[in-house]
Amino acid sequence: MVETLIDKCPRVETERLVLRKWQMSDLDGLIKLNTDPRVMEFFRKRPSAEESESALKRALQRQEEDGFCFPVVEDKQTGAFLGYCGLAIPAYGGPLPFDPCVEIGWQLIPETWGKGIAVEAANFWLGFGFETLQLNEVVAFTVVQNHKSRRVMEKLGMAYDPAEDFDFPGVPVEHPLCRHVLYRLSKKMYLECENG
């Protein structure tokens, strides 16, 4: 992304949340998130503390390069780290069938689940993506059996076509977490929802 966009991804507040860039001080929160078996149910492995630190350093680098990278979600009242939600350019070690793309994704502590936190944060970032970054489309994807995340995608107005299900790059076909669903939201769909 263009360098000037870095300043367009500021610390912002929604009704209940602060959405902001990553800092090294987020490491403890990220480790807690990555080691929670409920959070990691649909991931093939739980990152160690060292792997979480490496992931945080990559996030810091990517937010400098791209201007955004799955930003932090913080509780507005307490300042507590709740996880992350936002936009990123996928980098998963293999091409996705729908590359190039911008993804919206989230990973939040279980205490936030069912309270609309992911939807609240994601709605802000979709607006940022379509209005500030002038994206034409945002995608989201998850394993077929992750019904909680799929419900969030549906609440965001994203469209699902079973014909676009895909096997995740580098995952053996027989692995239960190989098959993924793809949801799409075009700028036109987003604007229709906003104005409807």
CATH number of the domain within which 186 lies: 3.40.630.30
Q: How confident is the model at residue 10 (pLDDT cuts 50, 70, 90)?
A: low
- Condensed to tens digits (0 to 9), the pLDDT of residues 40-76 reads 999 988 899 999 999 999 988 888 887 777 899 999 9
Q: What is the pLDDT of residues 116-156, one digit of tens each?
A: 999 999 999 999 999 988 999 999 999 999 999 999 999 99
In this prediction the pTM is 0.90
For the stretch 162-169, contacts whose Cβ atoms lie closer than 8 Å and that sit 24 or more positions apart, written own/partner, are: 164/97, 164/98, 166/96, 166/97, 166/98, 166/141, 168/92, 168/143, 169/92, 169/93, 169/94, 169/95, 169/96
Residue-range definition of the domain harbouring residue 64: 3-195
**Count of domains observed in the chain:** 1
